[in-house]
Amino acid sequence: MSAISRDDVSHLARLAHIDIPSDQLDHYAQQLDAILEAVATVSAVDTADVVPMSHPVPSTNVFREDVPGPSLTASEALAGAPAVEDDRFRVPRILDED
Amino acid sequence: MSEAVISYDEVLEKFDPVMGLEVHVELGTNTKMFCGCSTEFGAEPNTHVCPVCLGLPGALPALNKIGVESAIRIGLALNCTIAEWCRFARKNYFYPDMPKNFQTSQYDEPICFDGYLDVEIDTDEGRKTFRVNIERAHMEEDTGKNTHMGGATGRIHGADYSLVDYNRAGIPLIEIVTKPIEGAGKYAPEVAKAYVAALRDILRNLGVSDVKMEQGSLRCDVNLSLRRTPQDELGTRSETKNVNSLRSVERAVRYEMTRHAARLLAGERIIQETRHWHEDTGITTSGRSKSDAEDYRYFPEPDLVPIAPSREWVEELRAALPENPAVRRARIQESWGLSDIDMQTLINADLLDLVEEAVAAGVSIEAARKWYTGELSRVANEREVDVASLGITPATLVRIEELIVSGGLNDKLARQVLEGVLAGEGDVDAVIAARGLAVVSDDGPLLDAIKDALAADPSVAEKIASGKIQAAGAVVGAVMKATRGQADAGRVRELLLEHLGVSE
Ligand SMILES: [Zn+2]
């Protein structure tokens, strides 16, 4: 299992929207390495004949009829929002948007 | 800011265009893809939302059967293979338009793949068919709607911000992606437009979406690259987002061709990026750059079980597909013997379905076309509604035509009958009875009216008797007036001549 690099950590941090100061990248790289190593022990199991699964229940085609159900009211929907304006969620400016 | 471009002719001399078109269509289901919230357009903000589409902790998605069925029907109409087994995947990204922080989409297992759509374009050598190959059509969900607030003048009040309405978040979308469209050459813009138009017709014909480009229920992204010759590898592409009218699709392809060519000729490289289309100026501007490779960390959606459409279900849906619109038009035009212009008139006015229905019910082609393009279009226009919503049934037109043929109605009376039916006065016979509109077929009253007319102007009788038969018109007119249009003009003329002992 190859080691996690500083670049990997900063890439992951960016994807996760977390600020990690550059002097801590090595620290987290080591920690992530250790975690991956621990998880990697499952690869010791021979899975050559096992079909990968994405769901614990061996079932398919679970559908809902196209019939409207109850929705929330705007005030219920917005109850947990940090900021609200005009019945809408107020969020910081979205970068790259014109 | 606009960039350098070169003339279209020069592009064609030096480059070969390759396109890729991605169309997103919003399905017209009653509810969202993964929850029971309504998809109705224009509701108050954040009133069609629930824990599932707001991404609240612990909420679980439940898949809309009609969403899946529509995806399969679209795939079949586009000649695709339908997957025997496929899954949803999470496309992870942080953006406030998706409160879950991921979009439920499909990744390497689309429900439909490997199809094609044949489109027709006008070329220098006449009308030609061009095959557009379809890579895939997959299911996903729409995002919320951001409204950007503040801006340059908003500084005093602090940073600018966005307001988000999640009514649209979770509405079922089907994304239809073409394979690289090669070999279109100078017709690339026309092919792109014809493809989106044909796709729109098919989707409308399937009844899966209202396909309103101006309202965003059909959206097109245009990918374009140039290469020196068709033998070269594909060049770097730009992705122009949200090109939302047929005309714009054509213009955006043309513009990007001239922009790419200018850059390449100047020795610059094309940046792989998304670009924004500006309808007003007809140009694109740079958007997000894709240089720091997008990393959506797709993985199979653990909260939904796989979809395995049985072959019986797929065949059932295939058998119930409506006829392909282009095939149907050609068939109808041929069997009705219409000219291109007559056919186009019906299509443009959206009357083909109605006329076909009337013809199927037994109305003659001529009469059905006449009523729909004439009187009914006029009334619809006056009321500012669609002809279809006037609610005239084929049975009404059948009965009117029967009466015209049997002499019970003439054209003028038929229009009055139609007016009564449109006014909600009942069916054809009820309107005729209530308004007393039947053609007077009893000769007695007609002869009385003829005698009255002759008495009012005795000189006419002499003229006719002396051979000026055209003078009969005045008498016929007077009789028609006296009977409020309820006489058969031909019969009045016969009776008149008989009465005067004149033969034609
Ligand atoms: Zn919902």
Nearest-Cα distance to chain A for B318, in Å, is 19
> Smallest Cβ distance to A90: which of B37, B95, B163?
B163
> Smallest Cβ distance to B44: which of A57, A74, A91?
A74
- Going from the Cα of B98 to the center of ligand 1, the distance in angstroms, rounded, reads 12
Give the separation between CA B359 and CA A2, rounded to whole angstroms: 73
Best probe of the B interface among A7, A93, A95, A96, by most B CBs < 10 A, is A93
Q: Give the domain ranges of chain B.
A: 8-317, 323-435, 443-500
Q: What average pLDDT score do residues B93-99 get?
A: 87
> Smallest Cβ distance to B54: which of A15, A69, A77?
A77
Nearest-Cα distance to chain A for B288, in Å, is 6
Best probe of the B interface among A17, A64, A87, A90, by most B CBs < 10 A, is A64
Q: What average pLDDT score do residues B33-37 get?
A: 98
For residue range B193-242, what is the model confidence (pLDDT) as tens digits?
999 999 999 999 999 999 988 888 999 999 999 999 999 999 999 999 98
Give the separation between CA A81 and CA B169, rounded to whole angstroms: 16
Residue B25 φ/ψ, nearest 5 degrees: -120, 130
Which residue matches tokens 């029967």? B402
pLDDT at B494: 83
Q: Check A64 against B65: CB less than 8 A apart.
A: yes
For residue range A30-39, what is the model confidence (pLDDT) as tens digits?
999 999 999 9
Nearest-Cα distance to chain B for A79, in Å, is 11
Of the pLDDT bands very low, low, confident and very high (cuts 50, 70, 90), residue B60 is very high
> Smallest Cβ distance to B295: which of A15, A67, A87?
A15
B38-52, B58-72, B145-159, B345-359: lowest mean pLDDT where?
A: B145-159
Predicted model pTM: 0.75
> Smallest Cβ distance to B64: which of A54, A60, A66?
A66
Kindly tell me if the per-residue pLDDT of B249 is higher than 90.
yes
pLDDT at B252: 97
Which residues, in sequence order, are CB contacts of B395 under 8 Å at separation 6+?
B361, B427
A13 in reach of chain B (CB within 8 A): no
Of the pLDDT bands very low, low, confident and very high (cuts 50, 70, 90), residue B349 is confident
Nearest-Cα distance to chain A for B303, in Å, is 8
**Both tokens assigned to B140:** 């996903």
Which of B224, B274, B285 is closest to B249 using CA atoms? B224
Would you say B308 and A61 are in contact if contact means Cβ atoms under 8 Å apart?
yes
Which of B100, B109, B132 is closest to B119 using CA atoms? B132
Q: What average pLDDT score do residues B273-287 get?
A: 91
- Going from the Cα of B50 to the center of ligand 1, the distance in angstroms, rounded, reads 4
3-state secondary structure of A3: coil
CATH code linked to domain B443-500:
1.10.10.410
Would you say B265 and B241 are in contact if contact means Cβ atoms under 8 Å apart?
no
3-state secondary structure of B412: helix
Q: Check A93 against B159: CB less than 8 A apart.
A: yes
Q: Check A86 against B45: CB less than 8 A apart.
A: yes
Return the sign of the alpha-carbon dihedral for residues B330, B336, B340, B342: negative
Of the pLDDT bands very low, low, confident and very high (cuts 50, 70, 90), residue A1 is very low
Best probe of the A interface among B163, B281, B288, by most A CBs < 10 A, is B163
| B220 or B453, greater pLDDT | B220
- Going from the Cα of B441 to the center of ligand 1, the distance in angstroms, rounded, reads 66
Report which listed range, A42-46, B439-443, B475-479, is most confident: A42-46
Would you say B423 and B435 are in contact if contact means Cβ atoms under 8 Å apart?
no
Which of B175, B231, B185, B142 is closest to B19 using CA atoms? B185
Kindly tell me if the per-residue pLDDT of B156 is higher than 70.
no
A50 in reach of chain B (CB within 8 A): no
Give the separation between CA B369 and CA B358, rounded to whole angstroms: 9
Number of H helices, E strands in chain B: 17, 15
Kindly tell me if the per-residue pLDDT of B411 is higher than 90.
no
A62-76, B245-259, B402-416: lowest mean pLDDT where?
A: B402-416
Nearest-Cα distance to chain B for A27, in Å, is 24
Which residues, in sequence order, are CB contacts of B7 under 8 Å at separation 6+?
B258
- Going from the Cα of B94 to the center of ligand 1, the distance in angstroms, rounded, reads 20
Give the separation between CA B145 and CA A86, rounded to whole angstroms: 14
CA–CA–CA angle A73, A79, A81 (5° rounding): 120
Kindly tell me if the per-residue pLDDT of B439 is higher than 80.
no
- Going from the Cα of B174 to the center of ligand 1, the distance in angstroms, rounded, reads 18
Would you say B162 and A85 are in contact if contact means Cβ atoms under 8 Å apart?
no
3-state secondary structure of B117: strand
Residue B146: its chain A contacts at CB < 8 A? 94, 97
3-state secondary structure of B165: strand
Rg (CA), chain B: 32
A21 in reach of chain B (CB within 8 A): no
